Amino acid sequence: MTQTDHVAVLDGGHDREQHEGARRLLATPDRLRSFFAPRSIALVGASDGSGWARFIMESLATAGFAGTLRFVHHARPEAFGRPTVPSLRALGEPVDLAFVLAPTHAVEGVLDDAAAAGIHNVVVLASGYGDGGGEEGRERERRLVERAVELDLTLLGPNCLGFVNAVAAVAPFGLHIVPPLRRGPVGVVLQSGALTSNVLAFARAHGIGISLLTSMGNEAVITAADVLEHLITDEDTRVIGLFLETIRDPQRFSALARRALQVGKPIVALKVGRSPAGQLAALAHTGAVAGDDAVVAAAFRQLGVIRVGSLEELLVTAGMLGSGQVPRGRRMGVVTASGGACDIIADRSADEGVEIVEFSEPTTARLREVLPSFAAARNPLDVTGIILADRTSANANLGDAALNAVAADPNLDFVFNMVSLPAAAPPDPSVPERRIADVAATIACSPVPVVNFSATCSDLSEFGGSLLDRHGLHVVGGIEFGLTAVGHAIRWNEVRQDRAARPAPPSPPRATSDGLPNGAWSEARARELLRAAGVPAVPAELVTEADAAVAAAERLGCPVVLKICSAAIAHKSDIGGVALGLGDPDAVRAAFVRVLAAGRAVTDDVEGVLVSPMRTGGTELFVGVTVDPSFGPVLAVGLGGVFIEVLHDVSLRVLPVDQEEVVRMLGELRGAPVLAGARGVAPADLPRVAEVVARLAECARLLGPALQTVEINPLWVDGSRVEALDVLVVTGCSS
């Protein structure tokens, strides 16, 4: 698209999709590939008094930047002992990237100069745009985007500190980087600037190599999703780390996450900014239990995005995934030199669902041959500290012989191997050198992955780091982070295998809101919706007279339930509109009068009273679909009663879902044993329950943009009998 085309799009400027399309053309993977690997850079506004410029120069030196660095200042003839030019137009030839240090009021003029000089890539440091929260700043940022599109400028920021590309040896970044910069397979996207230095420092201290790391600023032109797409296509990146304050385009994020899962690039995300309750639905429980952060967590699980709780967990997990030694099954063999470590590992493995299985007989026999007589040849294996303290044992490579034996065990999917590194270079470095070389040799021929870990998350010494680098090894920092990373990796791989074996989700249904109420439906109408979708409901008759109520009760069989039926009354029990356990005609007649009066005291819009048989025993479930403002329709499933009201024991999924996914949801509940018959009731027929829930979810999706809430509370389950006892449907405009 030419600059003229960009202008035409913006002049039409009332079509948001066209505007977004024009912006996206500036941040395609092809354009970002060159953006993040400049060979010449101009610092605009550089001066001896600019701390930003000094940091950028230091960062470029730390990265080993060997390209051209130019200085631009409108008034000062030199900067840092080198000549400046007054504007980008005076450079003589274009640079690959302009880093704009100019104040906010001067930025637009610098962009004009960049375009006139043939420069297409710009980083803007200045703040005072959308980051300020005021209307003036938002308007300034809108004009900045329009100008960038008009001038064909790929722009990172504003309010941005820049980026670090370790692979390309370039780091136009406005904070200090502790040298050396470690190159590796982990790409990191941060919706934060100041955290970038901390991330780099932790990664360096723990032997985690970075391919690309970028702060995002306000994401006016280049967004986090754009960089995510770039990293998915980047050959130097094997795993992607994200620090997210918000997900601006959930649909695009979801599509990119599915693509990353398909190509085998794990995404590890730290999502912050949890709200206390999410969006509350006034007429339903579903919105209260499906808060926005819970929906994000559910979406991440479905997409195979690994959600972590800290930057340390993010980096340690990404580092392990990038090492190439990634567990693909749950059966773990453990090799340590500490009985205490074995105990910790056993406990944490249970938390992560990792299985510590028995060694095979040949493995046990081989271990008995090489271990000290007082060592037990069992999993988890403590080879004892003798291999570290006794020089003869160390020279005999007893620990490595044990690792070789365990790695060859056919009962295992991977090995968790403790590696002890010196805090400083020892007097005789040949012993740790030989030990690490033997570990590397074992890993090279091992039929299963070997995850090396240290006992604690301590920084690598210079000697230890160089030792690992020489042999191409990675050590995960600490037992806690190590097993957490292992659990993440296993679950990620299981999701990937599951998604590969299942068909792609169906396209959203074409639906219309024509003829649907704007608000809550009466229960009678809601039951018709369930019936059409094949969702079973308890039998019920709508009556308007006491004698008709008695006759209905006799047909349905006592005891019965009476409920007021009105679109204006969502919570019937709150106004006395429900009567339970009515066992004879007199009780039914009296209850009818009472329930009808309670309804009419609230509204004249009363259709009558519903009569249905009383269900006892069995298990009550809560099933509801509500609409998340970001991810769309969300299904919530949980056990009813105290489980949903107090314990908030609920499982969530973004729609669509199938029966297999619903079975997984039911299995995630803390109250899942209840469905298995833990209270002496008949075990629930989970496939039948899942079938009914999946039908309800699809029924809700078919309501299209009119959907607000579809909820069954409770869904009664007694073995293979599944019935909706009460249903709520709300459609129309959310406002």
At 372, the amino acid letter reads P
Write down the pLDDT at residue 508: 58
Give the residue from 278, 255, 319 showing the smallest Cα distance to 629.
Answer: 278
**CA–CA separation, 142 vs 220, rounded Å?**
8
Largest Cα separation within the chain, whole Å, is 101
Write down the pLDDT at residue 398: 56
Lowest mean pLDDT among 76-80, 255-259, 398-402: 398-402
Same domain, 686 and 570: no
- Judged by DSSP in three states, 728 sits in strand
**Token reading at 239:** 């795993």
- Judged by DSSP in three states, 15 sits in coil
- Residue appearing with tokens 């470029």: 60
Same domain, 108 and 49: yes
Please report which confidence band the pLDDT of residue 393 belongs to, taking 50, 70 and 90 as the band edges. Answer: very low
pLDDT value at 130 more than 90: no
Q: What is the mean pLDDT of residues 129-151?
A: 90
Domain membership flag for residue 598: yes
What lies within 8 Å, CB to CB, of 381 at 6+ separation is 333, 334, 335, 336, 342, 359, 367, 402, 406
The CATH number of the domain holding residue 13 is 3.40.50.720
pLDDT, tens only, 512-527? 556 788 889 999 999 9
Which of 453, 484, 501 finishes a domain? 501
pLDDT value at 307 more than 60: yes
Same domain, 588 and 638: no
Write down the pLDDT at residue 134: 83
- Judged by DSSP in three states, 46 sits in coil
pLDDT, tens only, 320-329? 999 999 998 9
Number of compact structural domains in the chain:
4
Same domain, 558 and 671: no
Length of the chain: 735
- In which order are the strands placed within the sheet that holds 154-156? 68-72, 40-44, 97-100, 121-124, 154-156
Please report which confidence band the pLDDT of residue 4 belongs to, taking 50, 70 and 90 as the band edges. Answer: very low
How are beta strands 331-336 and 355-356 bridged, if at all?
parallel
Residue 649, Cα to own-chain centre: how many angstroms? 20
**Token reading at 487:** 């659990």
**Which spans in 534-671 are helix H?**
546-556, 585-600, 642-645, 659-668
Please report which confidence band the pLDDT of residue 15 belongs to, taking 50, 70 and 90 as the band edges. Answer: low
More confident residue, 284 or 676: 676
Write down the pLDDT at residue 20: 86
Q: What is the mean pLDDT of residues 489-498?
A: 94
**CA–CA separation, 588 vs 610, rounded Å?**
12
**Token reading at 518:** 């704007």
**CA–CA separation, 158 vs 174, rounded Å?**
13
Write down the pLDDT at residue 729: 94
**CA–CA separation, 416 vs 431, rounded Å?**
22
Domain holding 426, by residue range, is: 323-501
CA angle 264, 267, 268 (to 5 degrees): 140
Write down the pLDDT at residue 253: 96
Extract long-range pairs of 372-379: CB within 8 Å, 24+ residues apart: 372/398, 379/333, 379/334, 379/406
Domain membership flag for residue 529: no
Query: What kind and span of H or E run contains 59?
Result: helix 51-63
Domain membership flag for residue 282: no
The CATH number of the domain holding residue 643 is 3.30.470.20
Write down the pLDDT at residue 457: 93
pLDDT value at 529 more than 60: yes
The CATH number of the domain holding residue 607 is 3.30.1490.20
Asked if residue 410 has a cis previous peptide bond (ω within 30° of 0), the answer is no
Which of 441, 476, 501 finishes a domain? 501
Give the residue from 324, 319, 291 showing the smallest Cα distance to 306.
Answer: 319
Same domain, 219 and 72: yes
> CA-CA distances (angstroms) from residue 520 to 524, 535, 541, 579?
12, 19, 20, 22
More confident residue, 71 or 630: 71
End-to-end Cα distance, the chain:
39
pLDDT, tens only, 162-202? 999 999 999 999 999 989 999 999 999 999 888 898 999 99
3-state secondary structure 429-478: CHHHHHHHHHHHHHHHHCCCCEEEECCCCCCCCHHHHHHHHHHCCCEECC
CA pseudo-torsion sign 385, 390, 394, 398: negative
**CA–CA separation, 319 vs 453, rounded Å?**
12
Helix axes 523-533, 686-701, angle to 10 degrees: 110
Q: Report the mean per-residue pLDDT for the chain.
A: 89
pLDDT value at 391 more than 70: no
What lies within 8 Å, CB to CB, of 304 at 6+ separation is 257, 258, 260, 261, 266, 267, 492, 495, 496, 499
Write down the pLDDT at residue 679: 63
Write down the pLDDT at residue 509: 59
Write down the pLDDT at residue 630: 85
What lies within 8 Å, CB to CB, of 423 at 6+ separation is 461, 464
pLDDT value at 93 more than 60: yes
Domain membership flag for residue 657: yes
- Judged by DSSP in three states, 381 sits in strand
Tell me 550's DSSP state: H
Lowest mean pLDDT among 58-62, 159-163, 271-275, 467-471: 271-275
Query: What kind and span of H or E run contains 286?
Result: helix 286-289
Asked if residue 705 has a cis previous peptide bond (ω within 30° of 0), the answer is no
What lies within 8 Å, CB to CB, of 451 at 6+ separation is 320, 323, 325, 327, 414, 415, 416, 417, 476, 482, 486
What lies within 8 Å, CB to CB, of 550 at 6+ separation is 585, 588, 589, 592
DSSP, residue by residue, 92-137: SS--SEEEE-S-HHHHHHHHHHHHHTT--EEEE----SGGG-SHHH
Write down the pLDDT at residue 647: 73
Domain membership flag for residue 244: no
Which of 613, 640, 657 finishes a domain? 613
At 551, the amino acid letter reads A
Same domain, 608 and 624: no
Same domain, 629 and 606: no
- Judged by DSSP in three states, 417 sits in strand
Other C-beta atoms closer than 10 Å to the C-beta of 598 total: 19
Same domain, 410 and 485: yes
Give the residue from 635, 633, 538 showing the smallest Cα distance to 289.
Answer: 635
Same domain, 8 and 92: yes
Same domain, 52 and 152: yes
More confident residue, 385 or 342: 342
Same domain, 407 and 429: yes
CA pseudo-torsion sign 236, 240, 243, 247: positive
pLDDT, tens only, 51-74? 999 999 999 999 999 999 999 999
Going through 182-231 in order, the beta strands assigned E by DSSP cover 183-190, 210-215
Lowest mean pLDDT among 394-408, 548-562, 663-677: 394-408
Same domain, 604 and 624: no
Domain membership flag for residue 242: no
Predicted TM-score (pTM) above 0.75 = yes
Give the residue from 632, 579, 585 showing the smallest Cα distance to 610.
Answer: 579
At residue 236, φ and ψ (nearest 5 deg) are -85, -5
Which residues share a beta bridge with 140?
A: none
Domain membership flag for residue 293: no
**CA–CA separation, 200 vs 180, rounded Å?**
10
At residue 541, φ and ψ (nearest 5 deg) are -130, 135
**CA–CA separation, 466 vs 482, rounded Å?**
21
Write down the pLDDT at residue 614: 94
Write down the pLDDT at residue 223: 96
pLDDT, tens only, 500-511? 877 766 665 555
Cβ burial 242-280 (10 Å sphere, 16+ → b, else e): bbbeebeebebbbebbbebbeeebbbbbbbeeeeeebbe
Domain membership flag for residue 41: yes
Write down the pLDDT at residue 329: 95
Write down the pLDDT at residue 586: 95
The CATH number of the domain holding residue 486 is 3.40.50.261
Other C-beta atoms closer than 10 Å to the C-beta of 83 total: 10
